Structure 1
């Protein structure tokens, strides 16, 4: 498997733990503030980004959907509200995030439609050809091995099934200069102030900078075995939707 620059970006360079262990620990520590921070740092635009990502599946009418790196279940819940599939399964390596997601689902009385499990994107605990669609929202940067995670998702997709990835990206100049200042100075400072975890939000910046984006990410999808790949940039390139299908 090919190693990419962002595979080696971790929340704490001095820690002896592997990336996925550090990421799980990091999200456990900020779980209680995660949703608030998303809304605050993006001024709520992240909700629109998520809805646009889910809309890429509208013509497929998927019945069995897997949400990888589901976190607190935002995409899973929005997918139910927008597409009403038969069932949505979410997996994440952070039990702290999952606990909050399950409380949301219970409050919305969606327990019959959405189930969240602790699970690793690089060892997905489901059989081949299990899902009509897979979504990943701001999660692929956190994979310890990007290719392995993409291969696992391809394995559990049904033939003709579709993967939708939503991920941060780097906008073009002159907007990039403003975003660099925001991501490198403001975001870590806000993370320290509200989530008491500057490293978590500095990791966000570092992993975005190192992540292969645009056509480079499409080539990785194609190399992994995905067909009909394309991407759509959102909000001047701050965020990008990537899609690919299983032939």
Structure 2
């Protein structure tokens, strides 16, 4: 079975007749009210450091127009605004529930003129070719229904010389981190999801989606085959997370 088929096969609700994309939207709508808290709680705050490391890769580029794909509640977009100071950040996501939470945060911070969050699908990005200087995706690419199509769309709307930075969970391979990681994500994470977000399915999907997602050299090859150049992969925290950086 291909990597793409593996990714498509892993869905939040196995019995549902909805497409993966539709299931992802339903899942995130259900957990939007607790998403930010659970993210930071379950990663012990390390996810904030991962995001900062990813955004530092864009500092030398000094992007003016930035697109944040699968923006969720806008955390990455808000951090990008603080660290990179672009003229404009546009965040897109298929979950209106997540976007609603994000818009409240942006309004509270008085950043409406700098950050715009709107409904949007990674596989049909509604912007002209070569619109953005940089594109970011934090913990979202493994949720794409069609990974290659999403990457192709991001390549299309990226300007020549522009950069794509992807932050995504990966599977550690070092003992005993691998064993502890598997134990935590397989058994503890779903329980926390059920207890705090009232959604065991969403947090059972998390380890399954990470396991099925193409990682490291395989993901780098997919990016290269899509048309990206200078593709790199940097593993963080014993391989629990990876940053993929690529140029158009």
TM over 0.5: yes
Q: Distance in 2 between matches of 1:23 and 1:189?
A: 20
Task: Give the corresponding residue for 1:75.
Answer: 76
Q: Distance in 1 between matches of 2:247 and 2:16?
A: 37
Task: Give the corresponding residue for 1:41.
Answer: 42
The answer to whether residue 54 in structure 2 is matched with residue 30 in structure 1 is: no
The answer to whether residue 168 in structure 2 is matched with residue 186 in structure 1 is: no
Q: Distance in 2 between matches of 1:39 and 1:2?
A: 29
The answer to whether residue 82 in structure 2 is matched with residue 89 in structure 1 is: no
How many residues end up aligned between the 2 structures?
246
Task: Give the corresponding residue for 2:122.
Answer: 121
1:204 to 175, 200, 206: 206
1:118-149 superposed Cα distances (whole Å, 9 cap, x missing partner)? 00000001000000000000000000000000
Task: Give the corresponding residue for 1:56.
Answer: 57
Task: Give the corresponding residue for 2:150.
Answer: 149
Task: Give the corresponding residue for 2:137.
Answer: 136
How far does residue 188 in structure 1 lie from its aligned partner after superposition? 0.5
Counterpart contact for 2:29–2:98, Cα < 8 Å: yes
| 1:216-235 alignment runs, 5 A limit | 216-235=218-237
Task: Give the corresponding residue for 1:166.
Answer: 167
Counterpart contact for 2:229–2:247, Cα < 8 Å: yes
- Runs of 5+ in structure 2 lacking a partner? none
How far does residue 2 in structure 1 lie from its aligned partner after superposition? 7.8
1:196-225 superposed Cα distances (whole Å, 9 cap, x missing partner)? 100000000100000100010000000000
Counterpart contact for 1:8–1:144, Cα < 8 Å: no
How far does residue 172 in structure 1 lie from its aligned partner after superposition? 1.4
Counterpart contact for 1:150–1:224, Cα < 8 Å: yes
Counterpart contact for 1:31–1:97, Cα < 8 Å: yes
Q: Distance in 2 between matches of 1:132 and 1:115?
A: 16
- Cα distance change, pair 201–148 in 1 and its aligned pair in 2 (3 A): same
Counterpart contact for 2:71–2:138, Cα < 8 Å: yes
Kindly report the root-mean-square deviation, in angstroms, between the aligned alpha carbons of the 2 structures.
Answer: 1.0
How far does residue 177 in structure 1 lie from its aligned partner after superposition? 0.6
Task: Give the corresponding residue for 2:22.
Answer: 21
TM-score computed with the length of structure 2 as normaliser: 0.98
TM-score computed with the length of structure 1 as normaliser: 0.98
SS at match of 1:180: helix
How far does residue 25 in structure 1 lie from its aligned partner after superposition? 0.3
Q: Distance in 2 between matches of 1:7 and 1:228?
A: 27
- Runs of 5+ in structure 1 lacking a partner? none
SS at match of 2:4: coil
Q: Distance in 1 between matches of 2:62 and 2:101?
A: 28
- Superposed structure 1 runs of 4+ greater than 4 Å apart: none
How far does residue 5 in structure 1 lie from its aligned partner after superposition? 1.0
SS at match of 1:125: coil
